[in-house]
Amino acid sequence: MEDLSYFEGRQLTEKLPLEAFTSVSEVKEKLLLGRYRRTDTELCDYIKKILGHPLFKSLMISTIALNAIFLVIETDFKVRSESHYFLEIADLIILAIYTTEFLLNLYLDPIGYWKDGYKRYDVVVLFFAYLLYVIDRSNPQKYRFWNMVKGFQALRILKLVYYSTGMSVLMTALGQTVRNVIYVLVLLFLLMFIFAILGHDLYGDPETGDMQNWGNLPSAFFTLFSLVTVDGWTDLQDELDDRGLTSSRAFTIVFILLGFFVFFNMFIGVVIMDIQDTTEEYERKLQAERRATLHTKKQAILRRQQEEISALISQQKSSEYKTFNELVEDFKKSLHHADPMVLEEFCASIPFIDLYLTSLDRQDATVFKLQELYYEIVATLTTLLNQSEEKSWQSLKSLRSKSS
C-alpha cells in the first residue's frame, strides 16, 4: 500500500490566507470591532443581511419616492386642507421607516455609524423631522419658524443618494473638489477685486461715469460677476459707450478673457478631472472587491475538495481499496460535469482562452481572405489564358487566309 501521509499532512488552503481575499472595508471593520467584543453576533449578522437585502433597498427607495410625492402634494393648499389627516398619517409612517433604518444601522455599528457622512446626514434629517412635531404651530410667534422647519423636510429626498451608486460616486467627487475649487475661486475673487477697483476709478465718476454699475465697490463686483458669466455684458458695454467711454471695450474684453475663458473654464476643468479620478478609483475598488470575492469562492472550493479527499483517505484506510490509485479511479467515477474545478494553469485561464479564441477568429478571417485572393488569381489567370487562346486562333486564321 502506498504511503498516504503526504496527502494527509498537505493543507491546500494554508497558502491562501483569508486576509488576502477580504476587501478593504471588511478589514477596517474587523479592526474597529476588535476593540470591543460583541456577544450578539448572530443578531448582528441577521440585521446586516436585512440591511443589505435588495428588498430592503427597494423599500427605502420607494419610501423616499413616496415622501417626495407627498411633499409635492402638500404644496397645494386645497389638497393639504382636505387631506390633512391622511398626509399626517403618511408622514408618520415614513418617519417610522426612517427611524427604523436609523436604529438598525446604529445597533449594527454604534461607533462606525458616526464616521459615515451619509449616516450623519440621516441624523440631521431625523432631527428636523421630529422637530416639526415639537414646535407648537398654534402659537403665532412660532408658526413662521414651523414653516421654515417644514421646508427643511425636503432634505429627506437626498437620502436617495445613499442608495444610488452613481450619485454616491458623484457626491464623493464633488466633496473632493471643494479644496481645489476654493483655490480657483480665491484667484477669481482677487482678479475681480483688482478689476473692481480699477473699474470704479475709471468709470465710476459721478459726472461722466456709470454710477449705477461702477459707482461703488459692491455694484462694481456685481457688474464684474455679470461679465464673468457673460450674461448681458453687451448691455453693460452699451451703457459705457453711450457715455463716450469707448476705451472701456479693452477693459471688458481683457476681463472676459481672464475671468470667463481662463478661470471659469479652469473651474469646470478641475471639477471634471476630480470626478473622473473618483470614478476611476471607484472602479478599481469594485474590481478589487470582485477579485476578493472570486478568491474567497476559490478558497471555499479548495477547502471542500480537501475535506472530500480527507474523507476518502480516511475511508480508504478501513475499506477494500488496496492502493491509492484504486481510490482515485473510484473517485473519478463520482465526479459530475457540474462540479467546479480550480484551474491554476495559464492555458486554462479566462484571458488566455479569450486571446486564443480571438486568434482563431483572426486566423479564420486571414484564411478566408487568402481564399478570396486565390480565387481572384485563378480568375485572372483564366482570363489571360482565354485571351492568349483567342489571339492564337486569330493568328492561325490570318495565316490560313494568307496561304489560301
Whole-number Cα distances in Å, 261 to 178, 190, 253, 257, 264 = 21, 16, 11, 5, 6
CB 316 within 8 A of CB 327: yes
CA 324, 329, 330, 331 torsion-angle sign = positive
CB 254 within 8 A of CB 227: no
In eight-state DSSP terms, residue 264 is I
Looking at every residue in the chain, the average pLDDT score rounds to 79
Gap between the Cα atoms of 240 and 234, Å rounded: 10
192-195 contact pairs (CB < 8 A, 24+): 192/221, 192/224, 192/225, 192/228, 192/259, 195/224, 195/251, 195/255, 195/259
Name the least confident of 21-25, 236-240, 376-380. 21-25
Gap between the Cα atoms of 50 and 60, Å rounded: 12
CA 11, 13, 15, 19 torsion-angle sign = negative
Residues in Cβ contact with 176 at an 8 Å cutoff, skipping those fewer than 6 apart: 274, 277, 278
Largest pairwise CA distance in the chain: 135
Give the residue-averaged pLDDT of 141-161: 83
**The model's pTM:** 0.52
Q: Cell numbers for 249, please give them.
A: 471695450
Gap between the Cα atoms of 181 and 268, Å rounded: 9
Q: Give the DSSP letter string of 74-94.
A: TTSHHHHHHTHHHHHHHHHHH
Give the residue-averaged pLDDT of 297-324: 74
pLDDT band at 346 (very low <50, low <70, confident <90, very high): low
pLDDT band at 99 (very low <50, low <70, confident <90, very high): very high
pLDDT band at 96 (very low <50, low <70, confident <90, very high): very high
Give the residue-averaged pLDDT of 95-110: 90
> pLDDT at residue 359 above 90?
no
Gap between the Cα atoms of 123 and 120, Å rounded: 5
pLDDT for res 238: 84
- If 0-12 CB within 10 Å is exposed, 13-18 middle and 19+ buried, where does residue 404 land? exposed
Gap between the Cα atoms of 347 and 354, Å rounded: 10
pLDDT for res 318: 59
> pLDDT at residue 12 above 50?
no
pLDDT over 70 for what percent of the chain?
82
Give the type of residue at 74: E
What is the chain's Cα-based Rg?
39
> pLDDT at residue 260 above 80?
yes
Gap between the Cα atoms of 369 and 103, Å rounded: 68
In eight-state DSSP terms, residue 240 is H
> pLDDT at residue 194 above 70?
yes
Give the residue-averaged pLDDT of 344-349: 63
Q: How many CA within 13 A on the CB side of residue 315?
A: 11
Name the least confident of 132-136, 275-279, 314-318, 391-395. 314-318
